[in-house]
Structure 1
Amino acid sequence: MKKTLLAEFTAREGAHDEVARLIGDYALKVREEEGNLVFDVYTKTADPRAFWIFEVYRDEDAFQTHLKAPYGGPFNTALAPLIEEDASLLTLLDPAT
């Protein structure tokens, strides 16, 4: 079964460009993962500092492999001081039909 989630965070005032650069670099790496099917980055129209990342992985094993990727920790460490939340807020999603 596919693993689908939404990650959300808000860039601090003045940090939007740096967050956008970080997430852009990170997205390139995640999209190369064998088990990643989708890694789409959005900002809210009403609040461009609010980032939403829609992620889909082939299955739970692919998601666990993603979590263990060597670039994940450094990305999260660099992101933490640039966002309003303590960390990305993750919402796991299930198909409705």
Structure 2
Amino acid sequence: MKRTLLAEFTAAEGAQDEVARLIGDYALKVREEEGNIAFDVYTRADNPRAFWIFEVYRDEDAFQAHLDAPYGGPFNASLVPLIEEVASVLTFLDPLV
């Protein structure tokens, strides 16, 4: 079964451009992962500091490989001081049909 999730976070005041640069660089790497199906980055139309990332992985093994990728830890360490939340808020999704 595919592993699908929505990651959400809000850039701190004045950090939006740096967050956008970091997530853009990270997205290029994640999209190259063998088991990644989608890694789509959005900002809310009414709040461009609010980032939403829609992620889909082939299966649980592909998701675990994503978590184990060597660039994930440094990305998260760079992101945390630039966002309002303690960490990205993750919502795991199951297909309805």
TM-score, normalised to structure 2, is: 0.99
Unaligned runs of 5+ in 2: none
Q: 1:82 corresponds to which residue? A: 82
Identity of aligned residues (%): 80
SS of the aligned residue for 2:51 comes to strand
Write the distance in 2 (CA, Å) between the matches of 1:13 and 1:42: 18
CA distance in 1, matches of 2:41, 2:87: 16
Residue 49 of structure 1: SS of its match in structure 2? strand
| Structure 1 spans left out of the alignment, 5+ residues | none
Structure 1: 4+ residue segments shifted above 4 A: none
RMSD: 0.3
* Residues in 1 aligned to 2:91 and 2:72: alpha-carbon distance in whole angstroms: 18
Aligned to 2:93: 93
C-alpha displacement at 1:96, in angstroms?
Answer: 1.3
State the match for 1:71 in structure 2: 71
Verify: 1:52 aligned to 2:52, yes or no.
yes
1:13 and 2:23 aligned: no
